[in-house]
Amino acid sequence: MAVLAAPVVAAVLLLTWAAYGEAQYVLYKDATKPVEARVTDLLARMTLAEKIGQMTQIERQVASPQVLKDYFIGSLLSGGGSVPRKQATAAEWVSMVSDFQKGSLSTRLGIPMIYGIDAVHGHNNVYGATIFPHNVALGATRQAALLSPRFAKLLPFFTNREIRFCLMFLSRDPNLVKRIGAATALEVRATGIQYAFAPCIAVCRDPRWGRCYESYSEDHRIVQAMTELIPGLQGDVPANFTSGMPYVAGKNNVAACAKHFVGDGGTQNGVNEDNTIIDRRGLMTIHMPAYLNALQKGVSTVMISYSSWNGIKMHANHDLVTRYLKDRLNFKGFTISDWEGIDRITTPAGSNYSYSVQAGVLAGIDMIMVPNNYQSFISILTSHVNNGIIPMSRIDDAVTRILRVKFTMGLFENPMPDSSMADQLGKKEHRDLAREAVRKSLVLLKNGKTSDKPMLPLSKKAPKILVAGSHADNLGYQCGGWTIEWQGDTGRITVGMTILDAVKAAVDPSTTVVFAENPDADFVKNGGFSYAIVVVGEHPYTETKGDSLNLTIPDPGPSTVATVCGAAQCATVLISGRPVVVQPFLGAMDALVAAWLPGTEGQGVTDVLFGDYGFTGKLPRTWFKSVDQLPMNYGDAHYDPLFPLGFGLTTQPRTY
């Protein structure tokens, strides 16, 4: 055997190492390369099984690291109330997400999964998180400086109707919503999660709908303004941003989701998941505008609605999902189904799952929230592709969009949770922000039996006061649905301050506070109370379970109001996700406050009741006299409300 000289051996080794280095270089793993080049490179390397895995989102309860590895699962989610354990810490969430992610990263191509959760008013599934007011409340908030001097000079040139609308619309506080989005993103990231199914940008046109509190307003212009939650969650898009592209600023932000596309707030009689009967112009002028704003702000994903438009299920609507949203509006992020959304294409749901998979994917849905029976979904979709029922081009489009979002948000560079962010969960600054949101969202509907004798603000130095009502000392009722459990719950379900707690903290130490949930008249009359605060309202609900044709306050709320307000001067605080029937009791009340579903920070209510701050909130919805008037929205020919859209009395802070 010939012996090579040392220089020759060195040269051969160098060439071998160089070739080995080139073989190891993978473009899609190179963070210096453009996102589109990385997507193209990775897509070309993927098998059909790997592509379909990316399109599959499954519930954490049916997942394991091995399942993610074996089926190349692209996404996980927590449904409402789906947690590692009750009262799990941020560290426990991080550990769970990390284990799942390791399963994804151990696949041949190492594509990280994205974890989604319904963080719709704060990180509401997670014990100890800050729970912000629901969207209907945020739609009532008002900016501190309503009119600039320049705008005020123009008022003489407007009609009264135009002035009225300007006051209603310009008074909203989208910057507050943006700050809430940023705080929510930090709390979501504190648990290792990177994707929030928010915001809901439905335009609720009928308060009988069980999801009405998830809507900012009946008016699309207010909803449009509140899409500022998106840059709060995702970060501000850069200059010269192309509308429709997905954008997430960094690892302190999360991917957002505009939902539910489109028309979910316009169903007949407010029936959840039902049919929205409206012509195309009406759909485009009422329900679609906020999606244009969402795309301009770089929303990464769009969730499709359970509802139908003129009899066509949105989950099967190729015209709106593909031709309009993707092609005309140039949306380049990914669309996602709702929970078992494709199952409900058929009636009854799931009766022809093979057809449902075909119809949903061909309509243009990219990621399917399965969420449990993933083996069946993967098998059927694979068969449809192999049999030419669904073209590979449709699969490639879906996977391209999913990968684009993952690359854009830096998931390949930072796939693992950051355990150092645990202190963001429920931090004081976020609770202070939630308290600010509560006090800005309260709407004062009545103040005094006569206009010249207002009851509010209340005195902190009254000798003895009564606090009554089913909602006065119930944090679960105060937070509403989508809190810890899917349907919400009752009692001390998480960390927070009830309104009773807040009253006790606010009054003078010499004041005696007596709590009686449902007192009798003699107790009230003989109690020597300076005044009473009565807190009543709706019980928690979500989605279809919240649909209501009567919109009445549950018992014993009405009787508590009648008893207490008939025997003492009373201020009623109403906890509800929407306007409810109040006209029969209005005369008995000295003051009425619409507090919506304020969340964990009850001190925001007492901040305004006792005059540390003035009332500034304005109704984001029309308050009806009778349910027989519904649906009734601002501008309708039959508009005859108890309180119109934009109504809200104001008070000045009390000087102590």
3-state SS track over 154-208: HHHHCCHHHHHHHHHHHCCCHHHHHHHHHHHHHHHHHCCCCEECCCECCCCCCCC
Question: What's the pLDDT score for residue 162?
Answer: 54
Query: Which of 424, 459, 488 is the last residue before a domain boundary?
Result: 424
Judge whether 29 lies within some domain: no
User: What strand order describes the sheet that includes 275-276?
Assistant: 275-276, 308-309, 312-313
382 and 255 part of one domain:
yes
> Residue 346 has what DSSP assignment?
S
**Best CA proximity match to 620, nearest among 175, 46, 86, 168:** 168
201 and 321 part of one domain:
yes
265 and 405 part of one domain:
yes
Question: What's the pLDDT score for residue 616?
Answer: 97
Place of tokens 């997670």: 126
Question: What's the pLDDT score for residue 3?
Answer: 44
Judge whether 497 lies within some domain: yes
241 and 122 part of one domain:
yes
418 and 451 part of one domain:
no
Question: What's the pLDDT score for residue 19?
Answer: 41
Instruction: Dig out the tokens for 311 from the structure.
Output: 């009899």
Query: Which of 424, 451, 483 is the last residue before a domain boundary?
Result: 424
458 and 335 part of one domain:
no
Instruction: Dig out the tokens for 601 from the structure.
Output: 């920070």
Judge whether 54 lies within some domain: no
CA 48 to the chain's CA centroid: 34
| pLDDT classification of 159: cutoffs 50, 70, 90 | low
Among the ranges given (3-7, 401-405, 460-464), the one the predictor scored with the smallest mean pLDDT = 3-7
Question: What's the pLDDT score for residue 439?
Answer: 98
Question: What's the pLDDT score for residue 167?
Answer: 52
Judge whether 58 lies within some domain: no
- At 618, which amino acid appears? K
Question: What's the pLDDT score for residue 128?
Answer: 98
pLDDT greater than 80 at residue 296: yes
Judge whether 79 lies within some domain: no
502 and 581 part of one domain:
yes
167 and 154 Cβ atoms separated by less than 8 Å: no
Q: pLDDT tens-digit profile of 335-393? A: 999 999 999 999 999 999 999 999 999 999 999 999 999 999 999 999 999 999 999 99
Reduced to 3 states, what is the DSSP secondary structure of residue 290?
A: helix
Q: pLDDT tens-digit profile of 597-637? A: 999 999 999 999 999 999 999 999 999 999 999 999 999 99
Among the ranges given (53-67, 115-129, 151-165), the one the predictor scored with the smallest mean pLDDT = 151-165
Q: What is the mean pLDDT of residues 50-79?
A: 98
Query: Which of 424, 451, 486 is the last residue before a domain boundary?
Result: 424
Q: What is the mean pLDDT of residues 496-516?
A: 98
pLDDT greater than 80 at residue 15: no
* CATH at residue 250: 3.20.20.300
What is the tally of structural domains in the chain?
2
**Which are the catalytic amino acids?**
338, 543
Provide the percentage of residues in the chain whose pLDDT is more than 90.
91
| pLDDT classification of 143: cutoffs 50, 70, 90 | confident
> CA–CA distance from 514 to each of 274, 524, 527, 569 (Å)?
46, 11, 9, 15
609 and 494 part of one domain:
yes
Judge whether 207 lies within some domain: yes
Q: What is the mean pLDDT of the chain?
A: 94
Q: What is the mean pLDDT of residues 185-202?
A: 98
Strands 195-196, 257-261: pairing is: unpaired
Q: pLDDT tens-digit profile of 16-63? A: 333 444 458 999 999 999 999 999 999 999 999 999 999 999 999 999
Q: pLDDT tens-digit profile of 397-434? A: 999 999 999 999 999 999 999 999 999 999 999 999 99
Judge whether 269 lies within some domain: yes
pLDDT greater than 90 at residue 210: yes
Question: What's the pLDDT score for residue 9?
Answer: 38
Question: What's the pLDDT score for residue 56?
Answer: 99
Q: Of residues 2 and 225, which shows the higher confidence score?
A: 225
203 and 251 part of one domain:
yes
Q: What is the mean pLDDT of residues 58-72?
A: 98
Reduced to 3 states, what is the DSSP secondary structure of residue 591?
A: strand
Q: pLDDT tens-digit profile of 467-505? A: 999 999 999 999 999 999 999 999 999 999 999 999 999
353: exposed, middle or buried (Cβ count in 10 Å: 0-12, 13-18, 19+): middle
Question: What's the pLDDT score for residue 6?
Answer: 44
Give the integer Cα–Cα distance in Å for 74 and 68. 8
**Best CA proximity match to 448, nearest among 611, 570, 595, 604:** 570
506 and 561 part of one domain:
yes
Judge whether 358 lies within some domain: yes
Cis amide linkage into residue 62, ω under 30° from 0: no
Per-residue b or e along 199-217, where b marks 16 or more CB atoms closer than 10 Å to that residue's CB: bbbbbbbbbbbbbbbbbbb
541 and 414 part of one domain:
no
| pLDDT classification of 452: cutoffs 50, 70, 90 | confident
623 and 577 part of one domain:
yes
CB within 8 A of 84, min separation 6: which ones? 92, 93, 95, 96
117 forms beta bridges with 78, 196
2: exposed, middle or buried (Cβ count in 10 Å: 0-12, 13-18, 19+): exposed
Identify the domain containing residue 446 by its residue range: 442-629
pLDDT greater than 60 at residue 181: yes
pTM over cut 0.85: yes
* CATH at residue 462: 3.40.50.1700
